[in-house]
């Protein structure tokens, strides 16, 4: 046969590379409309020695043979291919099939399940054709099935409620027979559910061979029909709402016992049982929210706020999803408030209480309310520490997520020792790649924020020993690792590398709570690269945007005020720089007030201010030592200045941090000797330039 022309969905990261020439026989497995033929056509486009099987015979002069529609090939083809593979060791075969069982037994081969399109790929395809549909409804309905996405995208202007009928219309020839209509009541099936419905589990294998569906989760035996088949069958059947709801409830409980969180969530939500929705979200944890946010939004948005308030996990999940999508801000704020209120009213029970304290803490941190969730995080940490082995087991994979997010709340409250202890415990119980990456990044960032660059460097090195998927590294799981890498690049005076690390996650800055850290690092990069006025403008624009979106707790506000004060100082606005940190009690605020006094020549005030500092971290101690050395030297107290320089040298040698030297006047750097070698003065010396990546 001749290959059909490539479709828009073939350019999917990593898939073409998986069809490597290193494998002799590879079977590309997927249902109808999954893009198998298009992917093979794209792969074969630049291989002139490739031939497609036509009329059931193998081309005699090709070194690579492609077999499409394997289910429809005669037995003679497989016999001929078998003989060719034995006679020609260089022959390469690529096969498109609905199931690997189509290929004769005994062949040495590799199988590649063609996965559904991700949410990002689905949205990109809809955007490419300027589809008018509601994105959330389209993503939820098509479930990543490429042909369905193309059908929906080209359907013209119809409402979200009419989308199922669009798919049903093209699937009418593939609707299941009447005796199997009950199989489409739920979106997902297992052999046990099929048996519960009175049918033979073999019906799923038959459907797979016909290309009508696929195993969405082979390990847990979760099967789903492709959307046109499902919707065409639903349109043809006579529904019984009460009976259908009971079946969905049974399915939700069944999927929970199998650990199939997404399937459990979908069936529970469609059955309108929020208690089971809560249970599915707890079981699926953060990955469920991150990977299936649009599905969650489509099913929970119609639920009233009053009902969601009685189920704080569901309210929290929807709020996080809406925040990540940068939409429905007022609804997200309302839901975060409801999740906090609902969590506080939940009954005792150690594991439950710990879970709801973490939900409360994260909600307060994301929304910036109260203390940003620090006090609640401390309560959650105590509860998590007191859990018995049996109670910990009830949390399953969620335990690492709870420890991680409790630690992040403490980190933002400057409670570093407690945060580090929780992160160490989280590292010991991580099970997923994304969890492991997030914990490593948090541990590295915690060390960098304290000023312990030596420890941060080791933790970043540990993280970079692994190969992480781009969708994890440059999304939320990898965001704190990127923050730590940018910190370390600035400590090396490699501002170009710092800029690259910041750019990699800048597109998600509106959806993560780490934006104040990114804003500070970007400000330092901007000060090095160009006029301070531009750096100040960029920072203030970002801060105004974020301040209009959420509140800001005091610990985060102090970080932002110090950054803005530095930028104002660089532009010569000494009054503004002083005002930003006036009256601040946090060590970072007092140290910045001393720096402003030093830059404005008020050495007496600088010395008096430094005398009130109560440093808690190596970084704060180094800032204090460098400023003290400058003030003492200026006022003729050379012995005390030398002592401060010695203190600074010891701190740099132990912890590896040098960035506080960058915020001193260039004329003052000479007294620090080798410590200041290659260190620019960011507030005045901007002779060096480089081209910044654009955000």
Q: Is pLDDT of 590 > 90?
A: yes
Question: So where are the chain's domains?
Answer: 15-115, 442-676
Least confident of 187-201, 521-535, 538-552: 538-552
Task: For tokens 């590896």, name the residue.
Answer: 656
User: 3-class SS at 66?
Assistant: strand
CA atoms within 13 A on the CB side of 63: 6
More confident residue, 557 or 317: 557
H or E segment and range at residue 149: helix 146-153
Contacts of 468 (CB under 8 A, 6+ apart): 433, 437, 478
Residue 592 is predicted with a pLDDT of: 96
How far apart CA 649 and CA 422 sit, in angstroms, is: 31
Instruction: Name residue 215's beta-bridge partners.
Output: 223
H or E segment and range at residue 6: none
For 303, the token pair is: 């639920």
CATH superfamily of 442-676: Tetratricopeptide repeat domain (1.25.40.10)
Residue 689 is predicted with a pLDDT of: 41
Model confidence band, residue 1 (pLDDT cutoffs 50, 70, 90): very low
Instruction: Please choose, from the candidates 499, 571, 517, 509, the residue with its C-alpha nearest in 3D space to the C-alpha of residue 545.
Output: 509
Highest mean pLDDT among 348-357, 470-479, 628-637: 628-637
More confident residue, 503 or 156: 503
Residue 655 is predicted with a pLDDT of: 95
CATH superfamily of 15-115: P-loop containing nucleotide triphosphate hydrolases (3.40.50.300)
Q: How many residues would you count in the chain?
A: 695
Model confidence band, residue 686 (pLDDT cutoffs 50, 70, 90): very low
pLDDT tens for residues 97-133? 999 888 888 888 888 888 888 877 888 778 777 767 6
Residue 315 is predicted with a pLDDT of: 78
User: 3-class SS at 152?
Assistant: helix
Model confidence band, residue 6 (pLDDT cutoffs 50, 70, 90): very low
Indicate the pairing of strand 64-67 with strand 213-217. Answer: unpaired
H or E segment and range at residue 574: helix 574-581
Task: For tokens 């009447």, name the residue.
Answer: 178
For 12, the token pair is: 């999917």
Q: Is pLDDT of 643 > 90?
A: yes
More confident residue, 338 or 405: 405
Region 579-589: mean pLDDT is 92
pLDDT tens for residues 496-528? 999 999 999 998 887 778 889 999 999 999 999
Contacts 24+ apart (CB under 8 A), 634-640: 634/603, 635/603, 635/604, 635/607
CB 75 within 8 A of CB 6: no
Instruction: Please choose, from the candidates 195, 149, 199, the residue with its C-alpha nearest in 3D space to the C-alpha of residue 176.
Output: 199
Residue 336 is predicted with a pLDDT of: 64
Q: Is pLDDT of 219 > 90?
A: no
How far apart CA 227 and CA 167 sit, in angstroms, is: 7
Dihedral angle computed from the Cα positions of residues 493, 497, 500 and 502, in that order, rounded to the nearest 10 degrees:
-40
How would DSSP label each residue in 308-365?
Answer: HHT-HHHHHHHHHHHHHTT--HHHHHHHHHHHHHHHHTS---HHHHHHHHHHHHHHHH
How far apart CA 287 and CA 270 sit, in angstroms, is: 21
Model confidence band, residue 343 (pLDDT cutoffs 50, 70, 90): low
Model confidence band, residue 344 (pLDDT cutoffs 50, 70, 90): low
Region 601-623: mean pLDDT is 92
Q: Is pLDDT of 253 > 90?
A: yes
Residue 151 is predicted with a pLDDT of: 85
Q: Is pLDDT of 14 > 80?
A: no
Region 618-625: mean pLDDT is 95
Residue 501 is predicted with a pLDDT of: 95
Q: Is pLDDT of 244 > 80?
A: yes
How would DSSP label each residue in 223-263?
Answer: EEE-HHHHHHHHHHS---HHHHHHHHHHHHHHHHHHT-HHH
Residue 115 is predicted with a pLDDT of: 84
Residue 7 is predicted with a pLDDT of: 54
More confident residue, 592 or 283: 592
Mean pLDDT, the chain, integer = 85
CB 661 within 8 A of CB 676: yes
pLDDT tens for residues 366-380? 766 667 678 888 888
Q: Is 405 exposed, middle or buried (0-12, 13-18, 19+ CB in 10 A)?
A: buried
Percentage of the chain beyond pLDDT 90 is 42
pLDDT tens for residues 350-361? 566 777 777 777
pLDDT tens for residues 524-541? 999 998 899 999 999 999
Contacts 24+ apart (CB under 8 A), 141-145: 141/167, 141/227, 142/167, 142/227, 143/116, 143/187, 143/224, 143/227, 144/115, 144/116, 144/117, 144/118, 144/119, 145/31, 145/33, 145/34, 145/116, 145/117, 145/226, 145/227
């Amino acid at each position: 046969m001749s290959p059909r022309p490539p479709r828009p969905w073939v350019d999917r990261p990593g898939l073409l590379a998986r069809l490597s020439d290193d494998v002799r026989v590879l079977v590309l497995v997927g249902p109808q409309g999954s893009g198998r033929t298009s992917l093979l056509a794209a792969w074969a486009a630049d291989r002139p020695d490739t031939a497609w099987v036509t009329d059931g015979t193998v081309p005699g002069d090709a070194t690579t043979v492609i077999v499409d529609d394997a289910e429809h090939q005669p037995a003679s083809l497989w016999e001929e291919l078998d003989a060719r593979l034995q006679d020609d060791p260089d022959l390469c075969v690529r096969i498109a099939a609905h199931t690997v069982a189509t290929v004769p037994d005994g062949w040495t081969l590799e199988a590649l399940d063609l996965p559904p399109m991700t949410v990002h790929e689905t949205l990109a395809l809809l955007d490419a054709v300027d589809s008018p549909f509601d994105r959330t409804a389209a993503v939820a309905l098509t479930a990543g099935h490429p042909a369905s996405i193309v059908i929906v995208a080209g359907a013209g202007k119809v409402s979200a409620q009419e989308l199922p009928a669009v798919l049903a219309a093209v699937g009418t020839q593939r609707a299941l027979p009447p005796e199997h209509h009950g199989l489409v009541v739920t979106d997902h099936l297992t052999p046990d559910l099929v048996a519960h419905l009175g049918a033979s589990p073999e019906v799923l294998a038959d459907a797979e061979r016909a290309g009508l569906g696929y195993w969405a989760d082979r390990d847990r035996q979760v099967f789903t029909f492709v959307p046109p088949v499902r919707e065409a069958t639903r349109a043809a059947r006579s529904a019984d709402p009460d009976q259908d709801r009971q079946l969905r409830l049974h399915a939700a409980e069944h999927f929970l016992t199998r650990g199939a969180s997404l399937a459990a969530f979908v069936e529970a939500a469609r059955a309108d049982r929020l208690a089971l929705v809560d249970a599915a979200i707890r079981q699926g944890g953060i990955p469920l929210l991150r990977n299936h946010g649009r599905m969650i939004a489509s099913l929970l948005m119609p639920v009233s706020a009053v009902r969601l308030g009685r189920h704080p996990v569901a309210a929290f999940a929807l709020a996080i999803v809406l925040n990540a999508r940068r939409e429905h801000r007022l609804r997200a704020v309302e839901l975060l408030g409801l999740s906090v209120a609902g969590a506080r009213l939940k009954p005792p029970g150690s594991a439950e209480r710990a879970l709801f304290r973490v939900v409360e803490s994260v909600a307060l941190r994301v929304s910036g309310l109260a203390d940003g969730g620090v006090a609640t995080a401390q309560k959650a940490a105590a509860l998590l520490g007191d859990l018995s082995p049996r109670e910990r087991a009830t949390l399953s994979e969620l335990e690492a997520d709870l420890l991680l997010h409790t630690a992040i709340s403490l980190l933002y409250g400057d409670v570093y020792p407690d945060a580090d202890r929780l992160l160490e415990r989280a590292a010991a119980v991580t099970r997923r790649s994304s969890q492991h990456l997030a914990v490593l990044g948090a541990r590295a960032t915690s060390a960098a924020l304290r000023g312990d660059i030596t420890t941060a460097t080791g933790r970043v090195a540990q993280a970079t020993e692994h190969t992480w998927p781009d969708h994890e590294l440059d999304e939320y799981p990898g965001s704190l690792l990127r923050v730590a890498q940018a910190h370390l690049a600035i400590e090396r005076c490699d501002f170009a590398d710092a800029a690259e690390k910041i750019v990699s996650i800048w597109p998600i800055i509106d959806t993560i709570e780490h934006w104040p850290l990114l804003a500070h690092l970007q400000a330092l990069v901007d000060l090095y690269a160009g006029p301070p006025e531009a750096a100040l403008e960029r920072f203030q624009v970002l801060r105004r945007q974020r301040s209009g979106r959420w509140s800001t707790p005091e610990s985060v506000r102090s970080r932002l005020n110090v950054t803005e004060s530095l930028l104002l100082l660089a532009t010569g606005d000494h009054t503004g720089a002083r005002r930003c940190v006036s009256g601040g009690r946090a060590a970072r605020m007092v140290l910045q007030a001393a720096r402003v006094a030093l830059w404005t020549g008020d050495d007496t005030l600088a010395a008096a201010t430094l005398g009130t500092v109560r440093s808690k971290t190596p970084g704060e101690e180094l800032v204090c030592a460098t400023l003290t050395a400058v003030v003492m030297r200026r006022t003729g107290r050379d012995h005390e200045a030398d002592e401060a320089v010695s203190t600074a040298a010891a701190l740099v040698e132990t912890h590896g941090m040098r960035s506080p030297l960058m915020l001193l006047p260039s004329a003052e750097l000479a007294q620090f000797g080798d410590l200041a070698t290659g260190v620019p003065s960011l507030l005045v010396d901007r002779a060096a330039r480089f081209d910044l990546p654009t955000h």
